[in-house]
């Protein structure tokens, strides 16, 4: 059994469950369309201010894409962040409540492969939603895109690694506590509020801006906006990429050790089958 086969098995299972609920897919499509229409209308109402200072300078990475481009990237990447940071914890909790966690981990596949494969559908769904949202903005509302391919690819990879580190930490807490992890859920909400999703981090009070810069969402958004709208190269987003790599490099091993400890503890005290 290879890692790809394990990943494919989890993807196929979750995709089949999602496809079985066509109403949910319709509701999701309507929700994305409504979100796009709402923010496009708000952008027209607010307009694209000209001049210098404050939020105007902070919107510079979006260039001609203006405030709608700023919002679309914020919403798209913010949703990807939420799904990636909470996906593993949610799947672990579902398996605990359904009583399938112990059986899943008892399969011949190594536990590490199972853990990495479990949130894949959530992550891919978030990525597809992000692409659809930005693509629809470009197609229907003329949001101009000037992607820098290398910077965009590097940003996507490092963002997923950094977001995934938080997701692994949330999964560890859910495994240990046997209840929905409150920390990553709080981070998801806090990220939208102070992570640069709807307004620039530079507009926050200095203490909150420092907190936002310490987490991966803000540098990820900066790099995505520059690489999507300004044709930035890797050197242009180097500081943001370094921040993402540092977060993933520090938080990733800590989260992996925490999950391994939580899993070992659950096996020893026999709580894998409990909820």
- Residue 264, pLDDT above cutoff 60: yes
7 part of a folded domain: yes
**Domain total in the chain:** 1
Compute φ and ψ for 177, nearest 5 degrees.
-85, -20
Q: At what angle do helices 206-214 and 182-194 cross, to 10 degrees?
A: 120
Asked if 246 contacts 152 with a C-beta cutoff of 8 angstroms, the reply is: no
Q: Which residues contact 80 (CB under 8 A, 6 or more apart)?
A: 123, 126, 127, 129, 130, 159, 163
Q: What's residue 221's pLDDT?
A: 93
What is the C-alpha separation between 155 and 244, in angstroms, rounded?
A: 8
164 is written with which tokens?
A: 């995934």
- What is the pTM assigned to this prediction? 0.87
109 part of a folded domain: yes
214 part of a folded domain: yes
16 part of a folded domain: yes
275 part of a folded domain: no
Residues 164-211: tens digit of each pLDDT: 999 999 888 888 887 776 666 677 677 777 788 888 887 778 888 887
63 part of a folded domain: yes
- Residue 67, pLDDT above cutoff 50: yes
Residues 9-47: tens digit of each pLDDT: 888 888 888 777 777 778 888 888 888 888 888 887 776
274 part of a folded domain: no
Domain that holds residue 51: 3-269
154 part of a folded domain: yes
Summarize the confidence of residues 246-275 as an average pLDDT. 85
What is the C-alpha separation between 116 and 129, in angstroms, rounded?
A: 21
């Amino acid at each position: 059994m290879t890692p790809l086969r394990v990943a494919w098995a989890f993807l196929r299972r979750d995709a089949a469950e999602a496809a079985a609920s066509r109403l949910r897919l319709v509701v999701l499509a309507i929700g994305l369309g409504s979100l796009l229409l709402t923010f496009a209308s708000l952008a027209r109402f607010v307009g694209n201010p000209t001049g210098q200072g404050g939020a105007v300078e902070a919107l510079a990475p979006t260039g001609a894409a203006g405030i709608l481009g700023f919002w679309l990237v914020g919403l798209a990447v913010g949703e990807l962040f939420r799904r990636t940071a909470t996906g593993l914890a949610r799947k672990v909790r579902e398996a605990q409540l359904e009583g399938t966690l112990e059986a899943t981990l008892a399969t011949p596949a190594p536990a590490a492969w199972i853990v990495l494969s479990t949130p894949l559908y959530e992550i891919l769904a978030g990525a597809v939603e992000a692409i659809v949202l930005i693509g629809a903005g470009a197609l229907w509302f003329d949001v101009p895109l000037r992607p820098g391919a290398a910077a965009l690819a590097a940003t996507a990879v490092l963002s997923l690694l950094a977001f995934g580190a938080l997701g692994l930490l949330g999964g560890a807490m859910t495994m240990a506590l046997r209840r929905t992890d409150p920390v990553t859920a709080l981070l998801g909400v806090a990220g939208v509020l102070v992570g640069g999703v709807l307004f620039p981090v530079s507009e926050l009070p200095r203490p909150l801006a420092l907190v936002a810069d310490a987490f991966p969402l803000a540098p990820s958004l900066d790099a995505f906006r520059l690489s999507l709208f300004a044709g930035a190269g890797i050197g242009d987003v180097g500081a943001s990429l370094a921040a993402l790599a540092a977060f993933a490099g520090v938080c990733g091993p800590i989260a992996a050790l925490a999950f391994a400890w939580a899993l070992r503890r659950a096996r020893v005290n026999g709580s894998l089958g409990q909820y």
